[in-house]
């Protein structure tokens, strides 16, 4: 294993036995260093808002504020592994973007698999070249490659195994899945709001609450487009605009 890079870890756990067990498991990994601990949700939110950690291990059932509530209020989504004694929360954990979900009592084998998953994701992200926000996205049409400046792209929609890139001037069909655009486009500008839509943050004019936790995003384009915002993406989108 490559131990040259170390990652800071924050633990939010109110139960002392579980907290000490997680601490012991972390100490077995030379890549990890314990950089912060909280015993309730309110303290966790305060500390996570004050600085950035590479990995957060957080119990869902924290006193004063649940782990889900802490995550939904953060402006930046951390790499996070949820822990809990209740298996029914697994789907919810993945919906809000958790790296993994550990069911108590946590075994060393299961804990280590979660850490390996985190390390793989983190190293893959670090090795991927950053997109140049001043450049653009290349779309092939016949024998030509057209460069669409990122600042001119309003949104991208999925259509099966292809995508449609909506720009301020016209639409372009690209033979790529939505995930490929998401990987290449600058993350500080583009955000996924739905399993079928990615939007340039600069073109979002308003967010309106609809029903059942659903939001609609209204865009500043020629058609004044309205796109659905998926429930799992709404908290992160609201955080980007500092919305309560």
Question: Which pLDDT value is given to residue 222?
Answer: 81
Find the mean pLDDT for residues 116-125: 83
Question: Is 112 part of any domain?
Answer: yes
Tell me, yes or no, whether 15 and 115 share the same domain. Answer: yes
The angle subtended at Cα 114 by Cα 230 and Cα 235, nearest 5°, is 20
In three-state secondary structure terms, 92 is: helix
CB 186 within 8 A of CB 133: yes
Question: Is 2 part of any domain?
Answer: no
Tell me, yes or no, whether 109 and 180 share the same domain. Answer: no
Instruction: Tell me the CATH number at 89.
Output: 3.40.50.2300
In three-state secondary structure terms, 61 is: coil
- Among 151, 134, 119, CA closest to 30: 119
Find the mean pLDDT for residues 152-166: 91
Domain's final residue, options 97, 127, 157: 127
Domain's final residue, options 70, 99, 127: 127
In three-state secondary structure terms, 159 is: strand
Domain's final residue, options 101, 127, 153: 127
Find the mean pLDDT for residues 233-238: 84
Which residues are registered as beta bridge partners of 216? 208, 228
Residue 110, pLDDT above cutoff 50: yes
Tell me, yes or no, whether 73 and 94 share the same domain. Answer: yes
Tell me, yes or no, whether 159 and 106 share the same domain. Answer: no
Q: Tell me the per-residue pLDDT of 199-220, one tens digit each, with 9 for 90 and over.
A: 999 999 998 887 776 789 999 8
Q: Tell me the per-residue pLDDT of 140-153, one tens digit each, with 9 for 90 and over.
A: 766 677 789 988 99
Give CA–CA dist 138/144, Å, rounded. 10
Q: Tell me the per-residue pLDDT of 165-177, one tens digit each, with 9 for 90 and over.
A: 999 888 988 888 8
- Domain range for 199: 136-240
- Tokens for 138, please give them: 């290349």
Q: Is the pTM of this model over 0.85?
A: no
Tell me, yes or no, whether 115 and 157 share the same domain. Answer: no
Looking at the chain, the whole-number percentage of residues with pLDDT higher than 90 is 41
- Tokens for 5, please give them: 């890079």
Question: Which pLDDT value is given to residue 1?
Answer: 41
Residue 159 CA neighbour count, 13 Å, CB half: 12
Question: Which pLDDT value is given to residue 2?
Answer: 44
Residue 86, pLDDT above cutoff 70: yes
Give CA–CA dist 22/56, Å, rounded. 12
Give CA–CA dist 98/91, Å, rounded. 10
Which residues are registered as beta bridge partners of 84? 103
Residue 33 CA neighbour count, 13 Å, CB half: 8
Question: Is 123 part of any domain?
Answer: yes
């Amino acid at each position: 294993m490559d131990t040259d890079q170390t990652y800071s870890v924050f633990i939010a756990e109110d139960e002392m036995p579980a907290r000490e067990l997680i601490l012991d498991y972390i100490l077995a990994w030379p890549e990890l260093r314990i950089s912060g601990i909280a015993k309730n949700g309110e303290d966790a939110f305060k500390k996570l808002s004050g600085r950035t950690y590479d990995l957060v291990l957080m119990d869902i059932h924290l006193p004063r504020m649940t782990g889900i509530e802490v995550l939904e209020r953060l402006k930046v989504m951390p790499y996070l592994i949820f822990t809990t004694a209740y298996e029914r929360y697994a789907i919810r954990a993945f919906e809000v973007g958790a790296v993994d979900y550990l069911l108590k009592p946590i075994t060393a084998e299961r804990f280590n698999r979660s850490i390996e998953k985190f390390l793989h994701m983190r190293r893959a992200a670090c090795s991927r070249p950053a997109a140049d926000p001043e450049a653009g996205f290349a779309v092939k049409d016949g024998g030509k490659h057209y460069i669409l400046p990122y600042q001119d792209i309003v949104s991208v929609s999925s259509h099966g195994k292809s995508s449609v890139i909506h720009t301020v001037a016209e639409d372009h069909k690209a033979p790529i899945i939505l995930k490929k655009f998401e990987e290449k486009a600058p993350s500080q500008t583009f955000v996924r709001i739905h399993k079928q839509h990615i939007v340039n943050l600069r073109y979002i004019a308003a967010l309106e609450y609809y029903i059942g936790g659903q939001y609609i995003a209204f865009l500043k384009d020629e058609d004044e487009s309205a796109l659905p915002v998926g429930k799992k993406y709404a908290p992160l989108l609201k955080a980007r605009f500092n919305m309560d």
